A and B are shown apart, each in its own frame.
Chain A
Amino acid sequence: MTDPQSLGDDLKRLEDIVRRLEDDDLALESALALFEEGVQRLKTAQERLASAETRVMQVLNEFAADGTPKVVPLDE
């Protein structure tokens, strides 16, 4: 399942990485590590964006053992 919330984290981190890479005094080793992470995050973000269908569930007035309501796919 896609989790757009972590997409938000990815984008925030990417912005942070770009900002830090733009700092001239960054040590080369750190720059390399940051760049590698940036590329990875970029890939993940693109994968997350290319994701799935909207899922529609109906919440029933019945509860599972853990106290959360049961859900079933909603017939349209």
Chain B
Amino acid sequence: MSSTDEAWSVARLARVLKRRVEDDFPATWVKGELVGVKRYPSGHWYFSLRDDLAKVDCTMWKSAASRLKVPLEEGTEVFLLGQPNLWEERTSLRFNVVQVIPAAAVGASAQAIERIKQTLLADGLLDPARKRPIPPFASRIAVVTSTAGAAVRDIITVANRRWPGVELFVVNAAVQGTQAPAEIVTALAMVARLQAIDCCIVGRGGGGKDDLAAFNDEAVCRAIAACPVPVISAVGHEVDVTLADLVADVRAATPSQAAEFALPDRRDVEQRVTMLGTSLIGAAASLVNLRQERLGRTRERLGTALLERLRRAERRVLGVQGRLAPALTRRVAQPQRQLARLEGRLAPAIQRRLARTRGDLGRLAGMLDALSPLGVLGRGYAIPRDAEGRVLRRTAEFAPGSTFTLTVADGIVPVRVEKS
């Protein structure tokens, strides 16, 4: 508790109270009934706002009052936007009003919007199945907005960052005021006549709630639904969802966000291209390895099989020869010569086929080499093989203590696995 020695002056009390009341008090909407409405010759308004339990004195200065569309009327329900203000000379508190909306107007416009919404709903225009996807690589984008606003500039900024090379087709239209709905409808009709447009952004930069009216207009909603390309709405308002947002194929909070939805990010795509390049080289490389392995095995198998057949034939001939009378020997000698000739012909044919396949592989390998700026071949690729020459692909194939070889660019290195 304070002592009398430290007594405050009244002025100090008033100042501290003022700070306590005013600091960090955000502009707030309050709903109530207007009473004691007085307009002074100075242009300022004085009145009170009350409900069943409380009453607060209010002021509305001339500057704010000049924006009033209708004069304040005793006894009406209103929404007031304002902040508390403490007058130090009397420590009296007043709510300083900067905006007034008659509750009846809010109710009426909300009802009107609801009626339009029901009509659009009945006509199927709000059906989620109607939503069209935005093409993944848009190159020509139409923008319906006011060229006086910030929307176009915001979209250009995002485009330059994410996806330069896109073409924007701006169709000017007022986005607030009584002429806005008709201008937006006309602009959307222009978009329909442009060639090869990928998608359309309809919107405006940020603004107050009053400015949203055009985007709750039935004709605007129907024009959006009728647009031949997917439409992104960008009404520039985080909180309020307009009917245009509901009809559009995609809703963005702001024009910048709309541009982000419409355009891919260059860095993502570059990454994807790089990865595809690596996969392409990798797939080709493993294809060559696989064919080389298979060719080696085929050659061995062919050789063995052929030899085996010749030996069998030889044994049979010898057996027959032994059993037959020498007089018949001549008749046997003939097939034997045939076999020898066949052997002579068969071998070159196989050799030729093998050589052809080797040639193809050589060309493919040569191409991979030639493309080295793109790839990694010949820059430290090594192929591990076991004693049978099989390529080792998984860690499980490298048992501790086992040996294998590494085929590198200029030869083969014997290797032992220390531990896995």
Question: A residues within 8 Å of B by Cβ?
Answer: 1-5, 7-8, 11, 14-15, 17-18, 21-22, 24, 26, 28-29, 31-32, 35-36, 38-39, 42, 45-46, 49, 51-59, 61, 63, 67-69, 71, 74, 76
Is the Cβ of B276 less than 8 Å from the Cβ of A15? yes
Kindly identify which residue among B156, B160, B168, B283 contacts A18, using a CB–CB cutoff of 8 Å.
B283
Is the Cβ of A35 less than 8 Å from the Cβ of B280? yes
- Minimum CB–CB distance from A74 to chain B (whole Å) comes to 6
Kindly identify which residue among B136, B277, B290 contacts A24, using a CB–CB cutoff of 8 Å.
B290
Q: Which residues from chain A contact B367 at a C-beta distance below 8 Å?
A: 32, 35-36, 39
B270 within 8 Å of A (CB atoms):
yes
In the complex, residue of chain B having the shortest beta-carbon distance to the beta carbon of A18: B279
Is the Cβ of A57 less than 8 Å from the Cβ of B167? yes
Cα A27 to Cα B169 in complex, Å, equals: 48
Q: Which residues from chain A contact B164 at a C-beta distance below 8 Å?
A: 51-54
The 8 closest A-B pairs by CB, nearest first: A21-B283, A4-B137, A8-B137, A51-B165, A4-B139, A2-B165, A54-B159, A18-B279
Is the Cβ of A28 less than 8 Å from the Cβ of B361? yes
Q: Which residues from chain A contact B273 at a C-beta distance below 8 Å?
A: 11, 42, 45-46, 49
Q: Within B129-158, which residues are at the interface with A (CB < 8 Å)?
A: 135-139, 142, 147, 152-153, 156
B47 within 8 Å of A (CB atoms):
no
Q: How many residues of B contact A (CB 8 A)?
A: 53
Is the Cβ of A28 less than 8 Å from the Cβ of B364? yes
Question: B residues within 8 Å of A by Cβ?
Answer: 135-139, 142, 147, 152-153, 156, 159-160, 163-172, 186, 190-191, 193-195, 198, 264, 266, 269-270, 272-273, 276-277, 279-280, 283-284, 286-287, 290-291, 357, 360-361, 363-364, 367, 371, 374
Q: Which residues from chain A contact B290 at a C-beta distance below 8 Å?
A: 24
List 6 additional A-B contacts (Cβ < 8 Å) besides A54-B160, A57-B169: A4-B165, A28-B357, A39-B371, A42-B273, A54-B164, A59-B190
Kindly identify which residue among A4, A8, A14, A55 contacts B168, using a CB–CB cutoff of 8 Å.
A55
Given A32-B360, A54-B156; A4-B287 close (CB under 8 Å): no
